[in-house]
Amino acid sequence: MNKQALIELLAALANRLNRGHDEENIPFGLAEEVRRVLKPVKPAVSFRKDLRSRLEMIAQKRVILEPRRRRSWVFFLVAAALGSALSALGFLAYFLSSRLNRRPQPTS
């Protein structure tokens, strides 16, 4: 909506209010004024042709990205299993070495 159309619309609404029209009919009158002031706009043929050629040019230059391949979950599962196994082996080695290196306590 351009500035002039808005000014005309507000002026028409002010005139209706000043003439003492029933306030409950104002929204319908306003809708009529909007319909009268706002008319469909059809762009010029030259504008449409220029827009089409620019959009086609942009579409030709656009790079189509292929979706990334998903990384194999197998690698992560193997790494997690290997880490868990090494952790368990480390705990077992510590436990066994502490049991084997424990000296018997002398009895009194």
Range 44-69 average pLDDT: 83
Residues counted in the chain? 108
- 8-state DSSP, 71: P
Q: Is residue 62 part of a domain?
A: no
Q: Is residue 66 part of a domain?
A: no
Q: Is the pTM of this model over 0.75?
A: no
* Domain that includes residue 29, residue range: 1-42
The domain tally of the chain equals: 2
Q: Is 32 within 8 Å of 53 (Cβ atoms)?
A: no
What are the residues whose beta carbons fall under 8 Å from the beta carbon of 33, sequence distance 6 or more? 9, 12, 13
**pLDDT reported for residue 101:** 78
User: Measured between alpha carbons, how far is 36 from 12 in angstroms, rounded to an integer?
Assistant: 11
pLDDT exceeds cutoff 90 at 65: no
**pLDDT reported for residue 45:** 93
Q: Is residue 78 part of a domain?
A: yes
**pLDDT reported for residue 66:** 67
**pLDDT reported for residue 83:** 93
Instruction: Give the CA distances from residue 65 to residues 54, 59, 96, in Å, rounded to whole numbers and listed in that order.
Output: 21, 13, 56
Q: Is residue 59 part of a domain?
A: no
Closest to 35 (Cα-Cα) out of 27, 25, 44? 27
